[in-house]
C-alpha cells in the first residue's frame, strides 16, 4: 500500500499497469522519460517490490543492454552496481568427461562487445528503476493489490477495481498495460493464451560468493595466470561471461552477480527428467555427476535460494490493441533463456507499447498497432526454430558453433541494428523490414533442420565429443564480423537501413552456403569441397536439406573441375580445427592435461 492510495480512489490515469516486475518498471521508466507528467498507476500483488528471492533474467545481450543503459538512461547505475558481461561462452567435455576447466573445449568471442552488456542483479536493478520512477509525483505503485478487475472499453476510458489490505480501490485509465509476467492476466481473461512447441524446463539457484569456473582446475594460481593458451583465450575474466556448460538437450549456466553466483540448468524434458533436478540438493548432485568439474566446489557452497519451472515457454494470440491495451514481458510470450531473449523482447515490446501509448490519434494508432503486432510476432517466432528444432545440437561443439554463428549474425543485423537506430517505431522502415525478415524465415528454419541432420549423422557415427580441447572464437567466421559492423551504422534513416539489410541478406546467404559447404566437406571427408567454386555455386541456401547421397552426387560432378576462384570473400580455414588427424588425438591423464594446458592447444 502506498501513502497516496486513499487519494487514488476513483482517479483517472493515463496508464494502468498490472505487474511491477522488469517489464512494467522499465515500461514506466520509458514513458516517464518521454512524458514526465504521465499519470501511471502500477498494481502488484506482492507485498515487497522487488522481492528478495532470485528472479531469473540476469543476463543481458546487446538489445537489452543498450535498452537498459542507453534508452532508459541507467548506464551509470549499471556500471556501478552490476558486472559488465563478457559475451556468451560455451563449453564441451572430452570423451569420458573432465573434472577441470582446462579439459573443456570452448567456443567464445575473445573481445568485449562494443555494445556493452551486463549481468543483472535483477532485484537491485528493479529497485533502482522503481526509485527513479518514484521521483515522478505522477507515478504510483500500489502493492498487495489483488482481485484486480478490468472493464476494457472499445472507446473511452477503461475501468478497474482492486482489493488492497486497506480497502478497495477503483478508477479509470486511458491505457491498460499488462506486465503481470507469468500471472498472464489479460492473456488468460481474453482467451489469448497459446501453447508453445518448446518443452523445456529449468532448475536454478543462487550460491554465496563468486564461483569462478577457471578456478575449478588442477593448476595452481601462477599456472592459471600463465597458461600458454591465453594466446587464444585472452585475459578478461571468463567468469564475467554467461558460461554455458553444454550437453545434448541441456545447458548449465554460470552468471556472476556481486557477492553471489547464479547457476541454472535448462533442459529438454525428454532428455533430463524433471524429478531428477527439482530440488537444490538434486540439482547439485546431477551437476556434479554430469559436469564433474563442479564437484570441486559446488557441494561446499551455501545455497541462498533455489527455484524452478517445469515448463516455461508460452505464446499469445495478440499483444497490442487499438482499443488501448498491450502486453509486454512474460505476460505474453516466452521461449527459452538461451541467448537471453526475455530481456530483448521486453526492450522491443516496451518500445512499441510506449510509442503506441503516446499516440493520441485513433487512426494512426490503428495503423501502428497492425504493424507492431506483426513485428512483435516476427521477433518472437524467429527464436522458435532454435529452441524447438535444434536443442540437441548443444551436444556437439562443431554443429553448435555453426548454429550460433548463424544465429548471432541474424541477431546483429535484424535485431541489434534496427533497435539501436530506433527503427522499430519508424513507419517508413517497418513494412520493408518485415518483408525481408519474413523472407529470411525459411532459410533460418532450413539451417536449423540441416544442422540437426548433421548432428544426428555425427552421433550415429560416434563423432560427437570434440577431439581434445578445441578453442573457437566465433568471430573467426568473417560473416559474423561483417554483421557486427552494423553496431557502427548509427543514425541510419529508413532508406539507408534497407540498404544495410540487403547487404546483410547477401552476407547471410553466403554464411548459409559456407555452413552447408563445411558440413558437406565433413560428411564426404573431402576438404576440397569448401574451396570448390562449382560445388558452392550449386548450393541453394533457401532449400538446404541434409542429404549425404545428394552431396556425394554433386561432388562427383565437380570433383575433377579446376577449383576456380575462391567462392568466399575471405578464405575459410577456421573449421578445419574440428578435423584433427586421428593420430593427434590422445587420451590425457590429468597431469598431462595440465601440461597440455600450459603448453597450448
Ligand X SMILES: Cc1cc2nc3c(=O)[nH]c(=O)nc-3n(C[C@H](O)[C@H](O)[C@H](O)COP(=O)(O)OP(=O)(O)OC[C@H]3O[C@@H](n4cnc5c(N)ncnc54)[C@H](O)[C@@H]3O)c2cc1C
For ligand X, what does the binding mask look like between residues 164 and 193, x meaning CB under 6 A? ---------------xxx-x-x--------
DSSP for residue 59: B
DSSP for residue 276: G
Cβ 104 vs Cβ 469: under 8 Å: yes
Per the DSSP assignment, residues forming a β-bridge with 170 are: 161
Q: Which stretch, 54-62, 76-84, 283-291, 568-576, contacts ligand X (CB under 6 A)?
A: 54-62
Q: Is 309 in the site for ligand X (CB under 6 A)?
A: yes
- Residue 62 or 475: the one with the smaller Cβ distance to ligand X is 62
DSSP for residue 112: P
Q: Is 340 in the site for ligand X (CB under 6 A)?
A: yes
Cβ 20 vs Cβ 44: under 8 Å: yes
Q: Is 330 in the site for ligand X (CB under 6 A)?
A: yes
Cβ 546 vs Cβ 518: under 8 Å: no
CB of 135 to ligand X, least distance (A): 21
CB of 279 to ligand X, least distance (A): 16
Local structure of 46: helix, strand or coil: coil
CB of 51 to ligand X, least distance (A): 7
Interacting positions 195-214 with ligand X (CB under 6 A)? 202, 204
**Beta strand pairing call for 88-92 and 242-247:** parallel
Q: Is 121 in the site for ligand X (CB under 6 A)?
A: no
Cβ 86 vs Cβ 112: under 8 Å: yes
Local structure of 147: helix, strand or coil: strand
Q: Is 20 in the site for ligand X (CB under 6 A)?
A: yes
Task: Residue 268: name the closest of 358, 336, 317 by CA.
Answer: 336
**E-strand spans in 314-364?**
314-316, 320-321, 325-327
Q: Which stretch, 42-50, 100-108, 427-435, 438-446, contacts ligand X (CB under 6 A)?
A: 42-50
CB of 55 to ligand X, least distance (A): 6
Distance in angstroms (rounded) separating the CA atoms of residues 146 and 148 = 5
- Residue 103 or 342: the one with the smaller Cβ distance to ligand X is 342
Interacting residue with ligand X among 19, 103, 256, 466 (CB under 6 A)? 19
Q: Is 74 in the site for ligand X (CB under 6 A)?
A: no
Distance in angstroms (rounded) separating the CA atoms of residues 463 and 455 = 9
- The C-alpha cell of 346 is what? 521486453
CB of 265 to ligand X, least distance (A): 9
CB of 328 to ligand X, least distance (A): 7
Interacting positions 481-510 with ligand X (CB under 6 A)? none
Q: Which stretch, 9-17, 51-59, 356-364, 430-438, contacts ligand X (CB under 6 A)?
A: 51-59
Q: Is 446 in the site for ligand X (CB under 6 A)?
A: no
Interacting residue with ligand X among 13, 31, 42, 45 (CB under 6 A)? 45
- The C-alpha cell of 97 is what? 568427461
Local structure of 179: helix, strand or coil: coil
Q: Is 23 in the site for ligand X (CB under 6 A)?
A: yes
**Measured at the alpha carbon of residue 401, what is the angle toward residues 395 and 407, in degrees to the nearest 5?**
110
216 HSE (CA, 13 A, CB side): 23
Q: Which stretch, 41-49, 276-284, 351-359, 484-492, contacts ligand X (CB under 6 A)?
A: 41-49
Query: Measured between alpha carbons, how far is residue 176 from residues 32, 164, 353, 450, 513 in Å?
Result: 16, 19, 10, 43, 47
- The DSSP annotation for 215-254 comes to GSSSS-HHHHHT-TTHHHH-SS-GGGSEEEEEETTEEEEE
CB of 20 to ligand X, least distance (A): 5
Interacting positions 137-156 with ligand X (CB under 6 A)? 145, 148
Q: How many CB atoms lie within 10 A of CB 460?
A: 9
Q: Is 18 in the site for ligand X (CB under 6 A)?
A: yes
Interacting positions 370-409 with ligand X (CB under 6 A)? none
Interacting residue with ligand X among 41, 44, 136, 140 (CB under 6 A)? 44
Helix (H) or strand (E) holding 287: helix 280-290
CB of 215 to ligand X, least distance (A): 23
Q: Which stretch, 50-58, 103-111, 207-215, 293-301, contacts ligand X (CB under 6 A)?
A: 50-58
Q: Which stretches of the chain bind ligand X, using CB under 6 A?
A: 18-24, 43-46, 55-59, 64, 145, 148, 179-181, 183, 185, 202, 204, 264, 266, 309, 312, 329-331, 337, 340, 342-343, 346
Amino acid at each position: 500500500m502506498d501513502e497516496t492510495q486513499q487519494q487514488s480512489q476513483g482517479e483517472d490515469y493515463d496508464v494502468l499497469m498490472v505487474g511491477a516486475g522488469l517489464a512494467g518498471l522499465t515500461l514506466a521508466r520509458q514513458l516517464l522519460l518521454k512524458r514526465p507528467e504521465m499519470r501511471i498507476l502500477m498494481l502488484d500483488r506482492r507485498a515487497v517490490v522487488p522481492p528478495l528471492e532470485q528472479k531469473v533474467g540476469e543476463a543481458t545481450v546487446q538489445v537489452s543492454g543498450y535498452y537498459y543503459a542507453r534508452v532508459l538512461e541507467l548506464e551509470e547505475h549499471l556500471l556501478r552496481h552490476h558486472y559488465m558481461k563478457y559475451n556468451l561462452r560455451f563449453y564441451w567435455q572430452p570423451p569420458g568427461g573432465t573434472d577441470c576447466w582446462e579439459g573443456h573445449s570452448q567456443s567464445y568471442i575473445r573481445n568485449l562487445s562494443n555494445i556493452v552488456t551486463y549481468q543483472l542483479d535483477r532485484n537491485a536493478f528493479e529497485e533502482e528503476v522503481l526509485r527513479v520512477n518514484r521521483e515522478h509525483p505522477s507515478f504510483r505503485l500500489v502493492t498487495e493489490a489483488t482481485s484486480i478487475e478490468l472493464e476494457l472499453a472499445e472507446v473511452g476510458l477503461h475501468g478497474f477495481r482492486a482489493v488492497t489490505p486497506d480497502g478497495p480501490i477503483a478508477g479509470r485509465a486511458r491505457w491498460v498495460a499488462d506486465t503481470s509476467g507469468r500471472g498472464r492476466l489479460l492473456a488468460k481473461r481474453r482467451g489469448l493464451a497459446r501453447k508453445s512447441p518448446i518443452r523445456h524446463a529449468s532448475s536454478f539457484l543462487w550460491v554465496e560468493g563468486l564461483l569462478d569456473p577457471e578456478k575449478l582446475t588442477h593448476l595452481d594460481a601462477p599456472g592459471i595466470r600463465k597458461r600458454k593458451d591465453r594466446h587464444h583465450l585472452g585475459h578478461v575474466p571468463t567468469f564475467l561471461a554467461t558460461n554455458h556448460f553444454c550437453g545434448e538437450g541441456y545447458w548449465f549456466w554460470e552468471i556472476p552477480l556481486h557477492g553471489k553466483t547464479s547457476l541454472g540448468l535448462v533442459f529438454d524434458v525428454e532428455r533430463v527428467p524433471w524429478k531428477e533436478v527439482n530440488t537444490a540438493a538434486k540439482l547439485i548432485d546431477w551437476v556434479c555427476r554430469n559436469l564433474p568439474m563442479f564437484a570441486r566446489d559446488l557441494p561446499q557452497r551455501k545455497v541462498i535460494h533455489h527455484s524452478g519451472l517445469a515448463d516455461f515457454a508460452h505464446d499469445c494470440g495478440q499483444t497490442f490493441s487499438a482499443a488501448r491495451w498491450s502486453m509486454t514481458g512474460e505476460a505474453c510470450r516466452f521461449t527459452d533463456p538461451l541467448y537471453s531473449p526475455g530481456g530483448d523482447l521486453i526492450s522491443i515490446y516496451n518500445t512499441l507499447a510506449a510509442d503506441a501509448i503516446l499516440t493520441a490519434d485513433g487512426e494512426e494508432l490503428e495503423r501502428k498497432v497492425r504493424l507492431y503486432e506483426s513485428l512483435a510476432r516476427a521477433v518472437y517466432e524467429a527464436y522458435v526454430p532454435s529452441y524447438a528444432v535444434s536443442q540437441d545440437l548443444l551436444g556437439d561443439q562443431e554443429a553448435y558453433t555453426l548454429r550460433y554463428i548463424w544465429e548471432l549474425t541474424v541477431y546483429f543485423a535484424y535485431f541489434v541494428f534496427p533497435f539501436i537506430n530506433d527503427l522499430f517505431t519508424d513507419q517508413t522502415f517497418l513494412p520493408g523490414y518485415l518483408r525481408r525478415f519474413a523472407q529470411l524465415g525459411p532459410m533460418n528454419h532450413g539451417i536449423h533442420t540441416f544442422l540437426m541432420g548433421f548432428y544426428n549423422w555425427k552421433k550415429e557415427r560416434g563423432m560427437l565429443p570434440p577431439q581434445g580441447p578445441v578453442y573457437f572464437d566465433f568471430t573467426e567466421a568473417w560473416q559474423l564480423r561483417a554483421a557486427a559492423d552494423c553496431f557502427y551504422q548509427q543514425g541510419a534513416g529508413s532508406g539507408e537501413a534497407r540498404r544495410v539489410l540487403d547487404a546483410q541478406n547477401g552476407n547471410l546467404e553466403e554464411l548459409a552456403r559456407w555452413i552447408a559447404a563445411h558440413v558437406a566437406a565433413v560428411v564426404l571427408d573431402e576438404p576440397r569441397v569448401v574451396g570448390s567454386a562449382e560445388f558452392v555455386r550449386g548450393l541453394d541456401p533457401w532449400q538446404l536439406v541434409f542429404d549425404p547421397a545428394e552431396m556425394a552426387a554433386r561432388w562427383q560432378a565437380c570433383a575433377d573441375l579446376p577449383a576456380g576462384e575462391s567462392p568466399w570473400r575471405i578464405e575459410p580455414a577456421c573449421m578445419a580445427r574440428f578435423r584433427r588427424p586421428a593420430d593427434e588425438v590422445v587420451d590425457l591423464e590429468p597431469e598431462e592435461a595440465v601440461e597440455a594446458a600450459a603448453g597450448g592447444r
